[in-house]
Amino acid sequence: MNNRKTMFYTVIAALVVLAGLTPLAAQASTVVPDGAPLVGQDGGAQPTPIADPARAAFDVARKALGEAKGLDLSLVTAWAYEEAEWVGGIDDCRFVPEGQEPRQIYFGWRFVIQPLFSQARYEVRTSFNRELVAICDEVTVDLLAGESGLGGAGAAPAPVTGSAAVGTFELGGQVTGLYPRTREALNAARMKWVKMQLQVGQDGSGLIAEAHGAGFKILFSVLGDKNQVMSPAYHDVYANYVAGLAAAGADAIEVWNEQNIDREWPAGQINGANYVPLLAKAYNAIKAANPNTLVISGALAPTGYFGTAGCTDQGCNDDTYTAQMAAAGAGNYADCIGVHYNEGIISPNQSGGDPRGGYPTYYFNSMISRALAGMGKPACITEIGYLSPEGYGPLPAGFAWAANTTVQQQATWLAEAAVLAANSGRVRLMIVFNVDFTHYGADPQAGYAIIRADGSCPACSALAAVQ
């Protein structure tokens, strides 16, 4: 026993020196079908930031498990791994047929894999060189047991009953405030909603009163402290805050924002199943405070940046993250599913022809379908915008893909998107990003604004004409 332990740590030390690795603790991830396009937020191809022995061993384990059990594992809910020592050898977790000898391999990778839309988990072991594989008869060490929400939809709280707060399609815009020019544009576009973003702790009661006094419904997109968001105690803090907004009369609340990237969620913890416990607690608190408040799941950042693995420590592709949310029961805790669409450079009526390629987040209809997959709820588009540099000057390099979009195209395409959304039967709410932002720098928000640099608003007239 002690000799094997000494050998184990000697092997690990050699790996560290030879391969530049650090010892690996149990980790979890999720994978999407091989060959998925690698597309970043700026529309350019991106490298896949994954090349390590654990991932290579996982691919071997996944293939072996799929063949042995007849499973399609091109997409899984979650997988976890660790470096392991097996006292009885790699085969001590499975029945060894008569006539075969257990293989005398005592160290290697242990994987626990949960297929998509399944509560089942499987343990697969491989040698470090990936030449030997053992599919266990049962899971001996459940590496996913500590992952919040993974495979745990059945243990989630029952949704609070009450009004689903659904209705006919409505249009709104994200604003910095209800200033006279902003109100004029909202009314000219025949918008019924305004959206603002709040941080936990900010007093939203005055904004609610102001919006209602001006004849608008109000949606709050609520962010909190990403460094605490994995704590169940912080979930209570967040839920109490959004419940207070609902009690004060908020018409809709979006629970977090773009939680599939590390700008908004802690690196290494980005997984749709880790988000659902927060969503569930917030949903129940909001509905208990005001059953008529529309609860919207946090809209994801549309991206394929994270490559064929689907997720890295820094984030997840939106389709992978959506599958994780759906498997964890997110659809039970939302009146509608939040969607962002901010990278269009062609008409939303088109399903092809984007000069950047065919990636689905480039196209309006495929983006909506992608966001709703497996959810069973309609969409609330909490941001839709077309970026135009007209009147402002050249765009920063990361947004150069929109360099040729004109203000007139912005107006036309927003109107076309409103018609598509209203007629689709899949969209409850569409919020234009944005109405009145003025910053034009590294993040050219003013280029998305429908109130243009010269004070005109071509999109206001175009949107009013189609309602």
How confident is the model over 108-153, as pLDDT tens digits? 989 999 887 667 889 999 998 899 999 998 889 888 875 433 333 3
What's the burial of 219, exposed, middle or buried (CB within 10 Å: 0-12/13-18/19+)?
A: buried
Name the pLDDT band for 161 (thresholds 50, 70, 90): low
- Most confidently predicted of 27-31, 263-267, 305-309: 263-267
- Each residue of 348-392: pLDDT tens digit? 999 999 999 999 999 999 999 999 999 999 999 999 999 999 999
Name the pLDDT band for 397 (thresholds 50, 70, 90): very high
Domain range 167-465, CATH architecture? Alpha-Beta Barrel (3.20)
Rg (CA), the chain: 25
Centroid of chain to Cα 221: 15
pLDDT, mean over the chain: 86
pLDDT at 455: 97
pLDDT at 163: 54
Does the pLDDT at position 305 exceed 50? Answer: yes
pTM equals 0.70
More confident position, 122 or 35: 122
pLDDT at 99: 84
| Element spanning 181, H or E | helix 180-188
pLDDT at 297: 98
Amino acid in position 174: Q
Sequence spans of domains, the chain: 2-146, 167-465
Distance CA 371, CA 321 (A): 10
Averaged pLDDT, 270-299:
96
